[in-house]
Amino acid sequence: MSAKITQLSNGVEGVFIKNQRFNTTLISFNFYVPLKKETVADNALLPFIMTSCSKSFPDFSALNFKLAKLYGANLSSSAEKVGDYQLLKIAISVIDDRFSLDNESLCDSAVELLTQLIFEPKVENGAFCEEDLAREKRKAIEHIRGDLAQKRTYAKKRLIEEMYKDEAYGVPKCGTEEQVEKITGESLYAAWVNLLSSAFLRVNVISRAMPQGLFDKISEKFNAIERKDIPDCTKSCPTAPASKVNTVIENMDIAQGKLCMGFSSELYGDDQKTAALTVMCDIFGGGPYSRLFANVREKMSLCYYCASSSVKSKGLITVDSGVEKENATKAEREILNQLDIIKQNLFTDEEFQSSIKSITDSFKSYNDSQGLLDAWYSLKIVKNKLLSPEEASEMISNVTRNDVVYAARGVKLHTVYKLLPGVKEG
């Protein structure tokens, strides 16, 4: 598998990922915009309203009929957070042209549909339609409320908010319920204009062969627009260590408490040194062989689950666990103890080798799914050189025990967030 970047326009690049395993072509438009609380909700709503209707397809029935004519093409959209930026994705998957019954270029038709959805939305007098807007706002609010209902998700979200107060990364990826309520047809239209004129764009194409003229058509579309103030998405501000550990405790009418801990790291980015942070985090709380699972959960029974994860672009490590209220402090103390064990190089060779094998094996799964490959290259925005799953796997294989210890010694506790059973204050 290979991937190549082609510059298409100012702040627009195309990436062709050649893969012979699939009988479909996936094309995704990935817009990157700075995370700002003033614009986050409008931006997050855009990919969803743009894939529900357009000027040419005024309702979802018309759009769905068009997808059916494209042999059941699949249209998708999402809004995610990548470092200090929002990633707004609109993608389509269509069967390869070689399966077309009438020698129709399905890929050309799919690209034409995507560009219509993106460049010709259903707007009137500088505003999105109120009926469409009300529908998408309702769905967005239901999604936000769903996160609140899932207490594990809610606790992790609150940890990030506390760690990154007044920083871009602390802004929720879809905004708040109050911010969504304030969206108007005019404000969403302004967000759309800004998206086309100033967002950084990466167009991923995953197929057996590069569709002829595809990038030329996309380039022509964006060259016709005045594009300026394109953000540099290759860099995000690393997590600064805290001068004093911040502890936040909230009470809620819940049965099981949540303990979330956030750590800063001296390593960040996407290079060989930072690969050690991935291995260290996995030994710490990745699989069933990890220190947190085997000791804090299994041996000491201090929590129902206990896992760690990393965000390398931010140099961030988080641990989240489900605990009984009376075990929260004990679990916190033992989690820090397990981190110290790694810092002292006291983890076992079996734990180290199990982690290396688990991570490298996980990279193989990317070639089994176009969606996973698309997600991989969408997230590899931290530097201009594309890193393939195979290259990342090789970097992990080259990590040594000493690398892991070095990475661990740069990890420092920043914030502790506890969501405990009890009466909510205020």
Structure tokens at 178: 């109050």
Instruction: Provide mean pLDDT across the span 389-399.
Output: 95
Q: Are residues 170 and 49 in the same domain?
A: yes
Would you say residue 241 lies in a domain?
no
Average pLDDT, the chain: 94
Question: Within a 10 A sphere around the Cβ of 218, how many other Cβ atoms?
Answer: 24
| pLDDT at res. 148 | 84
**CB 74, CB 68: distance < 8 Å:** no
Would you say residue 230 lies in a domain?
no
**CB 381, CB 235: distance < 8 Å:** no
Instruction: Provide mean pLDDT across the span 56-81.
Output: 95
- Residue by residue, what is the 3-state secondary structure of 239-275? CCCCCCCEEEEEEECCCCEEEEEEEECCCCCCCHHHH
Find where tokens 């490590």 sit. 317
Say whether pLDDT at 100 is over 80.
Answer: no
Structure tokens at 228: 């300026």
Q: Is the dihedral of CA 415, 267, 238, 390 positive or negative?
A: negative
Q: Are residues 206 and 313 in the same domain?
A: no
Q: Which residue has the higher pLDDT, 381 or 42?
A: 42
Say whether pLDDT at 419 is over 90.
Answer: yes
Q: Tens digits of per-residue pLDDT, 160-201?
A: 999 999 899 999 999 999 999 999 999 999 999 999 999 999
Structure tokens at 236: 């995000």
Q: Tell which of 175, 192, 223 closes a domain.
A: 223
pLDDT category at 131 given cuts 50, 70, 90 is very high
Would you say residue 364 lies in a domain?
yes
- Residue by residue, what is the 3-state secondary structure of the chain? CEEEEEEEECCEEEEEEECCCCCEEEEEEEEEEECCCCCHHHHHHHHHHHCCCCCCCCCHHHHHHHHHHCCCCEEEEEEEEECCEEEEEEEEEEECHHHCCCCCCHHHHHHHHHHHHHHCCCECCCCECHHHHHHHHHHHHHHHHHHHHCHHHHHHHHHHHHHCCCCHHHCCCCCCHHHHHCCCHHHHHHHHHHHHHHCEEEEEEEECCCCCCHHHHHHHHHHCCCCCCCCCCCCCCCCCCCCCCEEEEEEECCCCEEEEEEEECCCCCCCHHHHHHHHHHHHHHCCCCCHHHHHHHHHCCCCCEEEEEEECCCCEEEEEEEECHHHHHHHHHHHHHHHHHHHCCCCCHHHHHHHHHHHHHHHHHHHHCHHHHHHHHHHCCCCCCCCCHHHHHHHHHCCCHHHHHHHHHCCEEEEEEEEEECCCCC
Instruction: Provide mean pLDDT across the span 133-151.
Output: 94
| pLDDT at res. 98 | 80
Q: Tens digits of per-residue pLDDT, 312-339?
A: 999 999 999 999 999 999 999 999 999 9
**CB 123, CB 50: distance < 8 Å:** no
Residue 75: CATH number of its domain: 3.30.830.10
Which pairing describes strands 85-95 and 74-82: parallel, antiparallel, or unpaired? Answer: antiparallel
Say whether pLDDT at 296 is over 60.
Answer: yes
Say whether pLDDT at 111 is over 80.
Answer: yes
Q: Are residues 60 and 104 in the same domain?
A: yes
Q: Are residues 29 and 138 in the same domain?
A: yes
- Residue by residue, what is the 3-state secondary structure of 334-375? HHHHHHHHHHCCCCCHHHHHHHHHHHHHHHHHHHHCHHHHHH
Would you say residue 157 lies in a domain?
yes
Q: Are residues 316 and 411 in the same domain?
A: yes
Instruction: Name every residue whose Cβ is closer than 8 Å to that of residue 367 and which is 6 or more positions away in sequence.
Output: 1, 19, 21, 373, 389
Instruction: Provide mean pLDDT across the span 389-404.
Output: 96
| pLDDT at res. 382 | 57
pLDDT category at 158 given cuts 50, 70, 90 is very high
**CB 169, CB 83: distance < 8 Å:** yes
Q: What does the alpha-carbon distance between residue 290 and residue 285 come to, in Å, rounded to a whole number?
A: 5
| pLDDT at res. 104 | 75
pLDDT category at 1 given cuts 50, 70, 90 is low
How many domains does the chain contain in total?
2
Q: Are residues 209 and 273 in the same domain?
A: no
Share of the chain above pLDDT 90, in %: 85
Instruction: Provide mean pLDDT across the span 257-279.
Output: 94
Q: Are residues 325 and 200 in the same domain?
A: no
pLDDT category at 250 given cuts 50, 70, 90 is very high
Q: Are residues 192 and 256 in the same domain?
A: no
Share of the chain above pLDDT 70, in %: 97
Which pairing describes strands 412-421 and 246-252: parallel, antiparallel, or unpaired? Answer: parallel
Range of 43's domain?
2-223
Q: Are residues 45 and 77 in the same domain?
A: yes
pLDDT category at 271 given cuts 50, 70, 90 is confident
Q: What does the alpha-carbon distance between residue 309 and residue 127 come to, in Å, rounded to a whole number?
A: 41
Say whether pLDDT at 217 is over 70.
Answer: yes
**CB 356, CB 293: distance < 8 Å:** no
Say whether pLDDT at 426 is over 60.
Answer: no
Which among 5, 29, 99, 18 has a CA at the least distance from the CA of 367? 18
Q: Are residues 154 and 15 in the same domain?
A: yes
| pLDDT at res. 180 | 98
Q: What does the alpha-carbon distance between residue 4 and residue 206 come to, in Å, rounded to a whole number?
A: 11
Would you say residue 108 lies in a domain?
yes
Would you say residue 236 lies in a domain?
no
pLDDT category at 2 given cuts 50, 70, 90 is low
Q: Tell which of 223, 258, 287 closes a domain.
A: 223
| pLDDT at res. 425 | 57
Give, in degrees to the nearest 5, the angle at Cα 162 between 156 and 165.
Answer: 130
Q: Are residues 288 and 365 in the same domain?
A: yes
pTM: 0.94
Would you say residue 228 lies in a domain?
no
Q: Are residues 197 and 253 in the same domain?
A: no
| pLDDT at res. 195 | 97
| pLDDT at res. 34 | 96
